[in-house]
Chain A
Amino acid sequence: MTAFRITLLLAASLVLSAQSWTEDQGEAGTAEDEYALGVDVQAKLGQPSGPTLSGDALDDATAEVASRLRCPSCQGLSINDSPAETARNMKRQVRAMLAAGYDAEQINVYFESAYGEFVLMAPKVEGLNLLVWGAPVVLVVGGLLLVFGVVGKPREGTAEAPAPPPETDDPYLKRIREEVEGA
C-alpha cells in the first residue's frame, strides 16, 4: 500500500512539476540592483582575482562566460542561449560577478559548487574526462589506420586462381560439386 502511494505520488509529481521546469508561468521580479551579488559569493570565492569590467567589455565577457555554462532547466542549452528564467538569473549573476572583478575561472567554480560539473558546457580536461577529449582523436586515427591497413593490403590469393579443392570420396560432396560446376 505504501509502495503504491509512493508510486502515485511520484507520478503526480512528475506530471505536475513538468510545468514548473519550463517556468513559462514564472513572473520575473524586478531587480533593484542588477549588480548585487549573493552574500555567499565572497564566502565561497574570496576576493575577486580579475579586473572589474563595464560597458562593452562587460557585455562581451558576460556573453563569453555565459556561453560556457549550461542552463540547468533546459536540455543542452547554454545560459547565453536559453530564455528560461533560471538561465536569465544565472546570466545576471555572471554579469554581476564580472563587474565585481571575478574572473571566468572563479565564476565556473561558483556555479560548479552549486550545480556540479554538469553546469559546465565542456567537461574539464582532467581525469576520466580525458577520454572524452582524447577518444575522438584516437578513434579517427585508429579508424584511418585500420581502413588503410585493410584496403591497402593486397588480398591473398586474388592474383592467382584458387587452388582446386582436395579430392573426396563423399558422394554428397561430389554431387554438389557436379551441380555447382556443371560437370
Chain B
Amino acid sequence: MTVINVTLPFGLIKKVDDYSKIINVILEQQISVNILKFSTGRSGINLLLDIPEDKINSITEALKKNKVIVNKKGRVIVDIEKCIDCGACVSLCPTDALHLDEKGLLEYSLERCLGCGLCIDACPRGAIEET
C-alpha cells in the first residue's frame, strides 16, 4: 500500500452529485481505499488515502480528470544543516517517517510521511518545513 495526498479544491463540490461522481471514480477502480486523514485546509478539503501501489497511476489519472488535485507524497523537508538530531519530532510522527538511526542521527522517510504536519512546530530548530 502507498499513501497519496489529494485535495478537493474549493468550488469543486457544489451539490451532492459532485460528491457521487468522485466516489464513483474511486469505486470503479475496485480497490480498498483507506482514508487516513480528512481535514480542511487553505485550498480545500485534504484527504490522505492509502491505496495499493500498482493502482497509483490509474487512480491518480481518474481523480485528476475529475479536477481533484493529487499532491506528491511527503509534505515536509528537514533541513539537515539546522537539525541537531535531538529527537523532539520523533515522538510526534505517527508513522515513524521521522526516526533516529542506530547512530542517533535523524532520518526522514518520504515514503512513510503522511504530511500530517504534527512535527513542524515541535522542532526547536525550525528545521522542518512544509513543502
Please indicate whether A and B come from the same complex rather than being unrelated chains: no
Residues on B lying within 8 angstroms of A by beta carbon are none
Residues on A lying within 8 angstroms of B by beta carbon are none
